[in-house]
Amino acid sequence: MEAVILCGVQGSGKTTLFRDRFLETHARVSMDLLKTRSREARFLALCIETRMPFVVDNTNPSVADRARYIEPARAAGFKVIGYLVEVAAAPRDEIPPRALRDFARRFVRPTPAEGFDELWHVSGAGIEPLLTTPPLF
C-alpha cells in the first residue's frame, strides 16, 4: 500500500505526473476534484480504510499541509512517498502571480523527518532522489 504526496506550485506538472505514473493503480485525492476539506477527509479515510493506494494531488507547500495525509497513512501501515515537482508544465506567466507568492511564502522543502519513506525530485532532467540537504558547493 502506497500513499504518494505530491508537492509543487500550481501548473508545475503534478497532475501530469499522476496521469503518467499512477492513474492505473492509485486513487487521486485532489481539492480540484473534491472541492471541500470535508469531502477530501472522507475520501482519504475511505482510501485508508479500504487499503487503496492513493496520490494526493495538491500543492502541499507546508509541513502541516503534508502531515494531514502522512500521519493517518503511516498509522495505517502505508508506505509514504513524496514527490517535489518543479517541472513547469505551463509558462510562469500563465500562473497567477498571487499563487506563486502564496506558495513561495508557505513553502517548506519536504524532508524524511516528516514521515516520508522515500522522497523524489521531479525536474526537467527527470525523476531522481530528493537531496534533503543543500550541496556544499
Specify the number of domains making up the chain.
Answer: 1
For residue 44, being part of any structural domain is answered with yes
Domain with 121, as residue range(s), is 2-129
For residue 13, being part of any structural domain is answered with yes
For residue 23, being part of any structural domain is answered with yes
Residue 7 C-alpha cell reads as 508537492
Find out whether 120 and 86 touch, Cβ atoms under 8 Å: no
For residue 110, being part of any structural domain is answered with yes
For residue 135, being part of any structural domain is answered with no
pLDDT in tens, 17-54: 999 999 999 999 999 999 999 999 999 999 999 999 99
The answer for residues whose C-beta is within 8 angstroms of residue 116's C-beta and 6 or more apart is 5, 70, 80, 81, 82, 110
Region 89-98: mean pLDDT is 66
Region 62-88: mean pLDDT is 94
**Residue 137: per-residue pLDDT:** 42
Task: Write the CATH number for 47.
Answer: 3.40.50.300
